[in-house]
Amino acid sequence: MDKILNKRQIRSILINLICVKLLFMYPRGLTQNSGSAAWIQVIYVSLIALILFSVSMKLYEKIGLKSVLALGEELGGKPLKIIVGVFSAWIFSLCIATTVRSFPEVIKMVLLPVTPIEIILLVFGAAIVIGSRCGLVSLAKIHEIFLPVAAVIVLLFLGFLLPEINLDYIFPILGTGEKNIFLSGINALDIFGDIFALNFLFSYCKSFEDAKAAGYQAILVSSAFAIVSSFLFAATYAYPVSENFLFPFYQMARLIQIGEFFQRMEAFFEFMWSISILLYSSFYLYLICNILRETFFLQYHEPLLIPVLSIIMSVSFLAGDMREMLSNYSWVGDVIYMTAFFLPILLELCYLKKRGESD
C-alpha cells in the first residue's frame, strides 16, 4: 500500500479527533467531577496519556508499522483478527454515536429551532456519507487546511474571553478534593481515547517516525488546549453553577462582545464547530467501514457507509436525549480509553513474546 499521509496530515486528523469533544460537552464533565480544579485534572490525565502513549511507541519501535489488526492476525490468525477488528469498529462506533446523537439536537436548539430534527439528521447523515466517500486522502488534506483556520478562531475566542474571567472562581484550588481529581478523575483519559485511531493509520504513514511524532504532537497540542479551556471555563463561571451548562463553549462564546457592532462571536464558533464535527464524523465512518472491509476481506468499503451509519444513528437515538445519554452511558468513556491505551500495548507485548519464542 502506498504511503500517502505525511506527518502534518496525521497530526491534523488526530488533533481534530481529540479537540472536537473539548468544544462540545467535555468541560462540563470535568467540572462535575473536580469543580474549580478541572484544569488540574486535565494536567494529570495528560501526563498519564503521554506516559501510556510513550510505552506503546517504545514497543512499536521493535515491531514496525503494524496495525492492531495485523498484530491480531499474526498472533491468532483470522479468528483473532476478526475479534480485534469487530471490537475496534465497535469502539469507534461509540465515539461517533455521541456526536451523531447530540449534534442534530444542538443545531435544532441554537440555530434551527423550527426545523424538524429528522430533517437536520437526514442532512447531517448525508454530509457524513459524502465526506466519507471522498476517501482518506481528501479528508486528510481538508483537515490539514482547516486546522490552522480553526486554531486562529479558537485563539481569538480565548483571547476575547479574558476580560470575563474572575480568578476568585478557581478557588478552592483542589476543587472537590484530591480523591475526585486523582482517583475518579482518571476517567478523563477518554479525552485522548481518539489516539487509538493512529493504530489504524500506520499502513498509510510514510514512516514510523512520522506517525510517532504526529501522535506526540497531537497529545501535547490537545492537552494544552484542554488545560487552557478548562481553566478559562472554571474562571468564567463559578462552581457549582458551571456544571449546569450542557454546552460550556457555546455558553462562553455568548459572553463575548466586540464593540457595538459585533456581538455574535458564537456564530464563528458554530461555523468552526460544525465543520470540525463533520470532518470528525466523516473520518470515523470511513475508518469503521475500512476496518470492517479489512477484517472480513471485502473488496470495497463504500457499500458499507450508509448501512453502518444508519445502524449507528438508530442505536444512538435509542439512548434517549443528551442528558439521559450522558448520565446512563458514562461507562462508554471508560471502555474507550482503556481500549485506546491498553489494547495496543497488550497486543504488542504478546507479539514480541511470540516472536522472541520463535527466535
Cell numbers of 136, please? Answer: 482518506
Q: Tell me the C-alpha distance between 89 and 293, whole Å.
A: 11
- Give, to the nearest 10 degrees, the angle between helix 208-236 and helix 7-22: 20
Q: What is the DSSP letter of 321?
A: S
Compare 219 and 254 and report the one with higher pLDDT. 219
- For 26-87, the DSSP string reads HHHHHHHHHGGGHHHHHHHHHHHHHHHHHHHHHHHHHH-S--HHHHHHHHHHHHHHHHHHHH
- pLDDT tens digits, one per residue of 88-131: 999 999 888 887 877 887 788 777 788 888 888 889 999 999 99
List for the chain the helix, strand, coil content (%; round to 5).
80, 0, 15
- pLDDT tens digits, one per residue of 250-298: 777 777 766 555 556 666 677 788 899 999 999 999 999 999 999 998 9
**pLDDT grade for 242, boundaries at 50, 70 and 90:** confident
What is the value of pTM for the model shown?
Answer: 0.91
Listed range (40-44, 145-149, 169-173, 331-335) with the worst mean pLDDT: 331-335
Neighbouring-strand partners of residue 205: 5
**What is the predicted pLDDT for the residue at 213?**
94
Q: Tell me the C-alpha distance between 85 and 80, whole Å.
A: 8
Q: Tell me the C-alpha distance between 240 and 238, whole Å.
A: 6
Compare 267 and 187 and report the one with higher pLDDT. 187
**What is the predicted pLDDT for the residue at 316?**
79
Is the pLDDT reported for residue 43 higher than 60?
yes
Identify the H or E element spanning 154: helix 136-161
**What is the predicted pLDDT for the residue at 1?**
45
Q: Tell me the C-alpha distance between 275 and 131, whole Å.
A: 11
Per cent of the chain over pLDDT 90 is: 45
Highest mean pLDDT among 37-41, 109-113, 217-221: 217-221
CB neighbours of 207 closer than 8 A, spacing ≥ 6? Answer: 3
Amino acid at 163: P
**What is the predicted pLDDT for the residue at 46?**
95
Compare 207 and 247 and report the one with higher pLDDT. 207
Q: What is the mean pLDDT of the chain?
A: 86
